[in-house]
Amino acid sequence: MKNDSWQVNAADSGLRLDKWLADATRLGSRAKAFEAIARGKVFVNNKEQTSLEAGRKLQTGETVRVWMDRPGSAKHRVFTNRQVAGLDTIYEDEALLVINKPSGLLTVGLPKHPEEVTLYDQVADYLRHRSKLKPQIIHRIDRDTSGVVVFAKTDAARVHLKRQFAAQKPERIYQAVVYGIPFPEKGTWKDWLVWDKEELAQKLSDPRDRRAVEAKCHYRVLEKFKEASLLEVKLATGKQNQIRLQATAHGHQLIGEKQYQSEPPQNAIPFARQALHAFKLRLQHPINNQPLQFEAPLPQDFTALLQRLRKL
């Protein structure tokens, strides 16, 4: 897409600009929408939008233009002069900031994508404008996984939360859509994994391998479809890409999975990303030790997938 424009209809009135642009018929992801806005490529009623306006609510009849080949636009504005991003905040207090991360957005930067905007960048902007604090990373979820991500706002909170995660105390619950229906419909997946530094991927191994670490999660079927099922997956360990690899290893590849694939399904179900959502997180508050629970509602693409499957 180089240059396109749309008029907001009544059904979309009230939607955030970044979410509206993230629709598959427009830019396709929240990350692409935010980057286009921050780089001066998006106009509403002929007025250039900034990152401050990513969360503005659209009104019926407004004209939105994406001008990707705009002459003289500030290509690096998003990296050199970031502004407060339109974060989907679940919870915030003096110690914590909990965000509902959209799919398509890295949690933190990668060496091979040094200029790509990340959730950490957006949170850093937000805190810098409000409190001059620097976010502290506690955990992360994959680029194409959506859902709950927690940042600490102080060093003390970071230390306390890191200890909780190291001891596997937080309860991390995901929802996933997989091919087939696991049997039994409630159980535990236990495997041994080795991280391949060259391929940047997990590999199955066994306990005799000194490099291997145990990966365990508990699953249960929430809903069954003709050729797929919706699972609740509760992590007992928190290894990178764990659910994605374990689902494939146990014969139930995630719909939309591109990296950890088994034999291609005969009737592939189209989905733009892995169907995995960090739905719920329970932990202790790092200051007062009170139990907290955070939930991120299923995103639009995920609910649309479920609706399609129910009609098959």
CA distance 238 to 215: 7
In the residue annotation, 18 being an active-site residue is answered as no
Q: Which listed CATH number (3.30.2350.10, 1.20.1260.60, 3.30.230.70, 3.90.440.10) goes with 171-278+302-311?
A: 3.30.2350.10
pTM value surpassing 0.85: no
Which of 88, 142, 144, 191 is flagged as catalytic? 142
pLDDT in tens, 159-182: 999 999 999 999 999 999 999 999
Domain chopping of the chain, boundaries: 3-74, 171-278+302-311
List, for residues 94-133, the tens digit of each pLDDT value: 899 999 999 999 999 876 666 788 999 899 888 887 777 8
Architecture of domain 3-74: Roll (3.10)
